[in-house]
Structure 1
Amino acid sequence: MVSIVIPAHNEAAVIGRNLKRLLEGAEPGEFDVIVVANACGDGTAEAAAAVPGVRVIDTPVPGKVPALRLGDEACRSFPRLYLDADVELTAESVRALVRACARPGVLACAPVPELDLDRVGPIARRVHRVHHRLLTPTRALAGVGVYVLTEAGHARVFPMPDVIADDGWVHTSFAPDERLVVSEARSLVRPARTVRSHLNRRVRVRRGNRQLAALRRPHSTGGEGGPGLGSLAGLLRRREVSPLDAAAYLGVLVLDRTLSRVRRDKGGWGSDLSTR
């Protein structure tokens, strides 16, 4: 058995479909699935409870990390898998992740993310295409929507504090040789649909990175740095992205950094452009 914790806030539109996708082909008792519906104003808890084999915890307490802690306390076994409610994962990928946890020295692992760009705007699609390829070599446990912990790895991570980026906390808890990206496993991630939404998410990522740096995480790279222009040039040379992709990415990057400076000067890091 593998325990699977899914924190969910107002995910009634997708939670039922994603749970059925996860459990399709699973053996009886193979997955212990716990959905923690936190401060939901829609039918998330009801939609999750309608799927056979799913336990639901309905809590009025908002926040992803409190939901993760609550779900973790209800788990029955190791390894434990933590899955974002809007990310799709198959039973076959779960099994591949569980097998990877049995490898000597592995304390945590994650799948390879794939982007669902079907309903994403044209400029945002180009930005995501470049951003995804730039981060792939170093992403590991962060930004995938899924991570798995062995019992020893769990002791390194929990009880999880009230951090902005739970996946960043997990990623920086392990040395590179203790965490593994499992090529046989895939997660389907739905990125921001618009440039505005992407910029809002960048604000949160930046805040999370700054918090982790301040907490002096043992395996943090620190700061807000990422792949540089040399990495982008390499993608262009290898024709992994088009010149139009690169131009869209650079344009949004300039806008992102300009807004960051304005917000830093005004002390407005806690505010977003919009909620969506």
Structure 2
Amino acid sequence: MKGHTVPAASVIVPAHDEERSIGRLLTGLTASADGRRLEVVVVCNGCTDATAERAADFPGVTVVEIPQPSKHLAMRAGSEVASVYPRVYVDADVEIGADAVLRLADAVRTGPLLARAPGRRVPLDGVGLLARSYYEVWQELPQVREGLFGRGVIALSEEGHRRYAELPPAMSDDLVISELCAPHERGVDESVTVVVRPPRTVRDLLRRRIRVRTGNAQADAGRLRRADSRTRPAELLRLVRRRPALAPRVPVFVAVTGLAAWRARAAVRRGDFNTWLRDESSRA
């Protein structure tokens, strides 16, 4: 019977208070055009809203609840429930369809790739001028275009998942996963797309970037990040030469990056790699 077919891949969705956004993701994940089925596991971590109830409304979705508001613990809890490989980790606030996820899973099923991510679309309609300027620069950086991070979706083969499971907890999980694979073991499939909604205000942008900088510092301390994943002034100069229209936006990018780094120092000094600053405007 169709209802008892083996899933083509397991999808793990860590979700913390995502009742406003979880529906738009699960609508896509539970509708495959080619007839294959995804095993979708939503892990509600420390939720105080109706995320679990919203997710349970979708047929075939398994809902797991843990008391701690921790993405890392949610990913581990979801993996314990998942039954097949490849494993695809999907952030609850992005949008991607089942067929796109299946394509990513197929790419890592038999190798040589261990990790695969989709192309990224960042809609900037309704985004404030400063936040828009930041993202117009950020999206053009080579490491952002080539890395698996900042997409909210990563498919892992069984071997890729084994490597990830052996790593210590990390706030910037997508960066760490991207970095644990050599360039020839990972890739971005631009033929499929995930929609990543950015913060609409510079205040929310800063909250997100402070979290990222804190996670980057943790990855650096654990030697989990390569030097070529950092943004250097020379890269910004090359970007401006290649795209002169971005020149007025680069100062905004530099200012946001510098302020986020300065404000992240307090958390790094405290060793606080658990406080998850997030923006709410992208979830409206």
TM-score exceeds 0.5: yes
SS at match of 1:78: coil
Select which of 246, 253, 258 maps to 1:249.
253
User: Cα deviations across residues 158-196 of structure 1 (Å, max 9, x unaligned)?
Assistant: 155322111122122211111111122211112222222
Report how many residues are paired: 270
- Indicate conservation of the 8 Å contact 2:111/2:157, yes or no: no
> Does residue 131 of the first structure (1) align with residue 131 of the second (2)?
no
- Indicate conservation of the 8 Å contact 2:137/2:250, yes or no: yes
Partner AA of 1:88 in structure 2: E
In structure 2, distance between residues paired with 1:12 and 1:127: 28
User: Structure 1 residue runs of 4+, over 6 Å off?
Assistant: none
Structure 1 pair 238–260 and aligned structure 2 pair: CA distance change class (3 A)? same
Select which of 71, 96, 113 maps to 1:89.
96
TM-score normalised by the chain length of structure 1: 0.86
Structure 2 gap segments, 5+ residues each:
1-7, 280-284
Structure 1 gap segments, 5+ residues each:
none
Select which of 232, 235, 249 maps to 1:231.
235
User: Cα deviations across residues 130-175 of structure 1 (Å, max 9, x unaligned)?
Assistant: 0121155564221211111111111111155322111122122211
User: Residue in 2 aligned with 1:179?
Assistant: 186
Q: What is the Cα deviation at residue 267 of structure 1?
A: 4.8
Structure 1 pair 27–209 and aligned structure 2 pair: CA distance change class (3 A)? same
Q: How does 1:16-55 map to 2 (within 5 A)?
A: 16-26=23-33, 30-55=37-62
Q: What is the Cα deviation at residue 110 of structure 1?
A: 0.9
In structure 2, distance between residues paired with 1:254 and 1:161: 27
Structure 1 pair 166–180 and aligned structure 2 pair: CA distance change class (3 A)? same
Higher mean C-alpha displacement, 233-242 vs 106-115: 233-242
In structure 2, distance between residues paired with 1:232 and 1:41: 42
Higher mean C-alpha displacement, 233-242 vs 152-161: 233-242
> Does residue 141 of the first structure (1) align with residue 148 of the second (2)?
yes
In structure 1, distance between residues paired with 2:263 and 2:93: 28
In structure 2, distance between residues paired with 1:103 and 1:187: 23
In structure 2, distance between residues paired with 1:247 and 1:64: 32
User: Residue in 2 aligned with 1:62?
Assistant: 69
> Does residue 100 of the first structure (1) align with residue 121 of the second (2)?
no
Q: What is the Cα deviation at residue 9 of structure 1?
A: 0.3
- Indicate conservation of the 8 Å contact 1:203/1:269, yes or no: no
Partner AA of 2:199 in structure 1: A
User: Cα deviations across residues 31-84 of structure 1 (Å, max 9, x unaligned)?
Assistant: 000000111111000001101121111221220010000100111111110000
Percent sequence identity over aligned pairs: 37
TM-score normalised by the chain length of structure 2: 0.84
Q: What is the Cα deviation at residue 11 of structure 1?
A: 0.4
Q: What is the Cα deviation at residue 106 of structure 1?
A: 1.0
Higher mean C-alpha displacement, 225-234 vs 139-148: 225-234
SS at match of 2:248: helix
User: Residue in 1 aligned with 2:199?
Assistant: 192
Structure 1 pair 159–34 and aligned structure 2 pair: CA distance change class (3 A)? farther
User: Residue in 2 aligned with 1:221?
Assistant: 226
Partner AA of 2:148 in structure 1: L
In structure 1, distance between residues paired with 2:102 and 2:278: 36
User: Cα deviations across residues 76-114 of structure 1 (Å, max 9, x unaligned)?
Assistant: 111110000001111231122122114642111111211
In structure 2, distance between residues paired with 1:28 and 1:38: 31
- Indicate conservation of the 8 Å contact 1:107/1:149, yes or no: yes
Select which of 134, 140, 162 maps to 1:155.
162
CA RMSD of superposed structures (Å): 2.7
- Indicate conservation of the 8 Å contact 1:8/1:38, yes or no: yes
User: Residue in 2 aligned with 1:78?
Assistant: 85
In structure 2, distance between residues paired with 1:143 and 1:129: 14
> Does residue 202 of the first structure (1) align with residue 209 of the second (2)?
yes
- Indicate conservation of the 8 Å contact 1:65/1:160, yes or no: no
Partner AA of 1:239 in structure 2: R
